[in-house]
Structure 1
Amino acid sequence: MKTSFISTLSVQTTMRNSIAGVQREMVKANQESVTMKHADLGVTLGASTSRALDLSREISRIESLLNTASLATTRLESAELSLDNMNKLGLDIQSAILTLGSSTDETSLATARQTMSASLAAFTDFANTSVKGEYIFAGINTDVKPMEDYFAPGSPAKAAFDTELNYYMSSQVPPIPSLSAMTEDQMNDFLDDLEAKFNGTAPLTDPPHPAALAGQDLWTTFFSSASDENMKSRISPTEVIDSSTNANSAGMRNFAFASIVSMELLQTSVSQEAREAVSSRTNAVINKAMNGVDSINQQRTTIGISTERVSKVEERLQAQEDILTKSLGDMENVDPEEAATRLNTLKTLLETAYTVTAKIQQLSLANFL
């Protein structure tokens, strides 16, 4: 009978290799117990790996669309709220004109002018509303404040109005020496010309403006820096909506015109007949601003329809994401109980291996001699 020896070195080496293998498995098991997903999808899924990747890409695409839709919803809701407030300001102007009536009292006129001034200032603030650093009434010029502050020192908007009024008075034959000398017909003629320039149907002229500005639009030259093109957002693979509006609409032009002419011309220095022409024009134009073509309320309606479309798309996208996430989870996810049991088993195995290794290392022939 022949015997052969087994060295303690070979035993220790074997145990070290076993321990290393268990440690690697523990790393995977621990990862799976934390993430609840297979540590190596390629090994686990095999040929189904490409389908899992496709599902993951589709979920990422849907999440991107949902983020876009969420931002669009925020912009649309902010725009709708601002337009609603502008409409209320328009009602304040109408109420002030009706309250004033044919009064010639300076206190009543001053109260009306104060209402117009406050309404124009608040209107400008609402038109300059921004969401996450983007001006929602600037069209695609989202980084530019859309509305000029009429009351700011050196305001080009205020200067433009004064230029138009002074030129009209000086160009008449004979020239009109002061506002008190303007007749009702002359006031209506001036308002007709100015309204046409505000709404863009008549261009700037030289004189009174510089030759370089001749032919341009008064509103976009002096009052608004907004673009006519609105922001667009893709809310689904097949749907793109306008996710903003702009300050160049007829409603906003008319609002500014009505508030400015009433604020500037409802003065005791203006004749009674001319003031009545201003009041009548203000009432008519502010009504168009709120309810006419491309009016503030029409913009609100358009924004509201877009908001509803986005909401429905978000519901569909969320349902799709839930279905795809469940399908992907069925492929990638591990059984939590099985993962925990496997991890505990590996811990026990590793502890046992350490114990055996320690005892082997204590073996020595000297202990038996």
Structure 2
Amino acid sequence: MKTTGVSTSSICNGIEIFTRQINNDIIQLRKEVVTGQHADVGMQLGSRVSQFLELNQEKQRITGMLDSNNLAKIRLSTSQASLENIDRVYQSLLENTVILHEDSNKFTIDRIENLVKDSLRSLTDVSNMKSGSEYLFAGINTLEKPFQDYFAKDSPAKKSFDQLLDNFLKDNSKVQQLEVSSMTDHQMSEFIDKLEKAFFDNDYWMQNWSKASNQNIQHHFNDVESRDISTNVNMYGIRRLSLFSVIGIEFLGKDLKPESRSVLNKKMTSILGKGLEDLNHNRALLGMSEQRIDKEDVFLQNKKSIMEICIVKSVGVDHYKTSIKLDDLVNKVDIAYMITAKMRKLSFLNYL
């Protein structure tokens, strides 16, 4: 019987090469256990790799749309909360203005006049609120403060009212000098109607009260559908509350004729009622936009889930089988190291 000698060193080197290959396999298997996908997607899919890339790209696109929807909902939520604050101002004014029809003593008038001033200040603060670095009620003109402060020095809103009133008094002073306190009920009604017409004239409003854009920020759902996700101070609900506040501030404390005061009270109540309707209309529009985004989110989440299932089926691994295979390879490596260690101890020197 013929035997061939094999050196211990060559056997150890062979085991080392074998161990290195197994270690590479272990690294890949551990990666697959963590990611849940085959380490070499191209080898696994072969000719279907382009389909996998398309699925993955579509999933990323859907994720981007969901993120965009989330940002839109944050803006909507903040805007709706601000409109709710304006609604509370309206409700408070309505409750107190009704009292004027029954009680017009000086104490009541002074109290409501102060309430109107505070309400206009609140409206100004809310209208000029920011979300981050952007003004909420500025439309697309988000970097410019949208609403003029009526109480500020050299306020164009205040100056424009004074000019309108002075012109009206002069035009009606041809027979005798007309003052606010001597205005008849007809003249009071005529001036308030004229002022209301000015407030709803875009040129007058944009020149004296607003720096906001009429165009709101929009959220696009697809190539053909988009919804407003913001509003602006040019909406009628804010214009009417501003109008109400101005005539309340400028006329309530004046010594008016009883019939003129009656007209004033009726006009103020009417303006508040119409303004609250306008405000609720804008709140409803934003609410509809939010519902539309919620509906879109459900659709996109379902679509994303389907994409993820398809991707997992394409490149996913069986965690149980992969873990067993990984454990088996680790055991083989341990055995190889043990054999190598024992063989390195085999030496003639140990027997000398």
TM value normalised by structure 2 = 0.88
Q: Which of 301, 325, 350 is 2:284 aligned to? A: 301
Unaligned runs of 5+ in 1: 202-216
Determine if the alignment matches structure 1 residue 226 to structure 2 residue 226. no
| Alpha-carbon contact 1:66-1:235 (below 8 Å) kept | no
Residues 138 and 146, structure 2, Cα contact 8 Å, conserved in 1? yes
Compared CA separation, residues 123 and 29, structure 1 to 2 (3 A): same
Write the distance in 2 (CA, Å) between the matches of 1:200 and 1:251.
Answer: 14
Matches within 5 A, 1:89-168: 89-101=89-101, 103-168=103-168
Change (3 A) 1:152 1:25: farther
RMSD: 2.6
What is the CA-CA distance between 1:228 and the residue it aligns to?
0.5
Is 2:173 the partner of 1:190? no
Q: CA deviation at 1:176?
A: 4.8
Taking a change above 3 Å as real, the CA distance of residues 103 and 367 of structure 1, as seen in their structure-2 partners, is: closer
Kindly provide the CA deviation profile for residues 204-247 of structure 1, in whole angstroms up to 9, marking residues without a partner as x: xxxxxxxxxxxxx2322232222111111123465322112221
Give 1:209's aligned residue: none
**Distance in 2 separating the partners of 1:79 and 1:226:** 15
Instruction: Find the aligned partners of 1:264 and 1:329 in 2 and give their Cα distance.
Output: 70
Sort the Cα spacing of 1:237 and 1:172 in 2 relative to 1 into closer, same or farther, 3 A.
closer
- Paired with 1:349 and 1:152, the residues of 2 have a C-alpha distance of 83
- In the TM superposition, what is the alpha-carbon distance from 1:43 to its structure 2 partner? 1.6
User: In the TM superposition, what is the alpha-carbon distance from 1:75 to its structure 2 partner?
Assistant: 2.5
Q: Tell me if the contact between 1:267 and 1:275 (Cα under 8 Å) persists in the aligned partners.
A: no
Return the match for 2:251 from 248, 253, 265. Answer: 265
Conservation of the 8 A alpha-carbon contact between 2:172 and 2:178: no
Distance 1:239 1:44 in 2: 40
1:355 aligns with 2:341: no
Percent identical among aligned pairs is: 31
| Residue pair 1:32, 1:334 contacting (<8 A) in 2 also | yes
Secondary structure of the 1:241 match is strand
Question: Aligned partners of 2:60 and 2:222: how far apart in 1?
Answer: 13
Q: Please tell me whether the aligned partners of residues 176 and 182 of structure 1 are also in contact (alpha carbons under 8 angstroms).
A: no
What is the alpha-carbon distance in structure 2 between the residues aligned to residue 261 and residue 280 of structure 1? 12
TM (normalized to structure 1)? 0.85
Name whichever of 61-70 and 148-157 sits farther off: 148-157
Matches of 1:363 and 1:105 in 2, distance apart?
116
Any residues of structure 2 matched to 1:10-21 within 5 Å, and which? Answer: 10-21=10-21
Give the aligned length: 351
Q: After TM superposition, what 4+ stretches of structure 1 lie above 6 angstroms from structure 2? A: none
Please say if residues 146 and 247 of structure 1, whose CA atoms lie closer than 8 Å, have aligned partners that are also in contact. yes
2:199 touches 2:205 (CA, 8 Å); kept in 1? Answer: yes
Q: Partner residue of 1:338?
A: 321
Alpha-carbon distance, 1:129 to partner = 4.1
- Counterpart in the other structure of 2:307: 324
Contact 1:31 1:39 in 2 (8 A): yes
Q: Which residue matches 1:235?
A: 221
